[in-house]
């Protein structure tokens, strides 16, 4: 796997476990320069393109912070990736915001869990 976030220990472990239990991993990050609105649109279009040939697929999209916001935003993004996904595909995604549960400041939680602690 390659990519910016896969270098992080927790995200790398998430990818490894997802592959072990049968998930298919695909990139949706928008790779052009810039952020904000163009990034949100690019991410949603990448997901929409992936879905085009897989109309019956079940999909879990892992994203961070405000990218899971479904409605209009009061900033330059106008809509986040989840809102753009609805716009481009008609799919109203179930979104779960786990940002408030981020434990990045509890250093003992930064290591991947041991094999005996993994519960699927």
Residue ranges per structural domain of the chain: 5-117
Nearest to 25 by CA among 48, 9, 1, 46: 1
Instruction: Report the C-alpha gap between 19 and 33 in whole angstroms.
Output: 29
Task: Please count the other Cβ atoms lying within 10 Å of the Cβ belonging to residue 56.
Answer: 5
pLDDT per residue of the chain (120 residues) written in tens, 0 to 9: 466 777 888 888 988 999 999 988 898 988 777 778 999 999 999 999 999 988 888 888 888 778 888 888 888 889 999 999 999 999 888 888 776 666 555 555 555 555 544 444
pTM of the model: 0.74
Nearest to 118 by CA among 22, 25, 18, 26: 18
* Residues facing 32 on adjacent strands: none
Instruction: Report the C-alpha gap between 23 and 1 in whole angstroms.
Output: 14
């Amino acid at each position: 796997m390659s990519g910016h976030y896969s270098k992080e220990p927790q995200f790398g472990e998430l990818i490894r476990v997802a592959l072990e239990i049968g998930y298919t991993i695909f990139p949706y990050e928008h790779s052009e320069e810039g952020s904000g609105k163009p990034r949100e649109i690019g991410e949603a279009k990448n997901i929409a393109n992936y879905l085009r040939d897989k109309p019956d697929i079940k999909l879990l999209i892992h994203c961070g912070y405000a990218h899971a916001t479904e409605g209009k935003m009061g900033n330059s993004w106008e809509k986040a990736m989840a809102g753009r996904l609805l716009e481009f595909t008609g799919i109203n995604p179930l979104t779960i915001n786990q940002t408030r549960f981020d434990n990045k400041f509890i250093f003992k939680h930064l290591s991947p869990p041991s094999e005996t602690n993994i519960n699927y």
